[in-house]
Amino acid sequence: MSGHSKWATTKHQKAAKDAKRGKLFAKLIKNIEVAARMGGGDIDGNPTLYDAVQKARKNSVPIDNIDRAVKRGSGAEAGGADWQTIMYEGYGASGVALLVECLTDNRNRAAMEVRTAMTRAGGSLADPGSVSYLFNRKGLVIVPQPTAGEKLAEDDVLLAVLDAGAEEVNDLGEAFEVICEPTDLVAVRTALQDAGIEYESADQSFLPTLQVPLDEDGARKVLRLVDALEDLDDVQNVYANFDVSDEVLEAVGAD
């Protein structure tokens, strides 16, 4: 979920403790299968697969599950599905724009479930192209603060990634986000590794060029819609262009 950076951090923390961990595991496994199918099963020679595996490991997906997903995706083991990526566009409360990224083996099912979830939670699907222009595709690396020892400063992260193509580094409080062009993603995360800085995830993402500020009522409606969409098996990511203040986020989180 990508909206206001404060919300991105909160969502990131929530995912780690989510009771629906099984759903999270399934989504991470899908990513591994697709990456292995597209670029082969050699983790060292396939940067997309490397990042997908790293993310799965960080989220405690069992090694056996990861290995089997790599084998299925690369064709070394039977059982891999023909996953297709589909992007749906829509609107939520207060005119918030939504991109819903699906990875599915059944386009009709994905379309029906996304449409139903949108309608029930007060959103609406939009025509292709009517929302996507409000987002830019970027590389996004999340760097958490160390759990022990000396805290990272923003300058530490910036110095490590500046020459690798990073465009900006944002301090989210308990983590930093590093934004770059998708083509520089591997170079940026490699630069962090070379500097001895641990990163949580390195993904291609859609970042909004314009954000819609939300009050408590709007935030509740939009977050309810996002949760409904993210709960669907075929949905991998939901991107939105809303902005919530710390106060609104705290009030909504207390519900």
The pLDDT value recorded for residue 24 is 84
For residue 112, what are its two tokens? 């029906």
pLDDT band at residue 23 under the 50/70/90 scheme: confident
Q: Which CATH number does the domain 84-129+212-253 belong to among 3.30.365.10, 1.20.1740.10, 3.30.70.980, 3.90.1860.10?
A: 3.30.70.980
> How far apart are alpha carbons 170 and 158 in whole angstroms?
9
C-beta separation of 110 from 76 below 8 A: no
The pLDDT value recorded for residue 1 is 40
The pLDDT value recorded for residue 2 is 43
90: nearest Cα among 131, 122, 121, 119: 131
pLDDT band at residue 178 under the 50/70/90 scheme: very high
The pLDDT value recorded for residue 252 is 78
For residue 159, what are its two tokens? 């110095």
Residue ranges of the chain that CATH labels 3.30.70.980:
84-129+212-253, 135-208
Q: What's the fold here for domain 135-208?
A: Alpha-Beta Plaits (3.30.70)
What's the pTM? 0.86
Q: What is the pLDDT of residues 228-237, one digit of tens each?
A: 999 899 999 9
The superfamily in CATH containing domain 5-74 is Integrase, N-terminal zinc-binding domain (1.10.10.200)
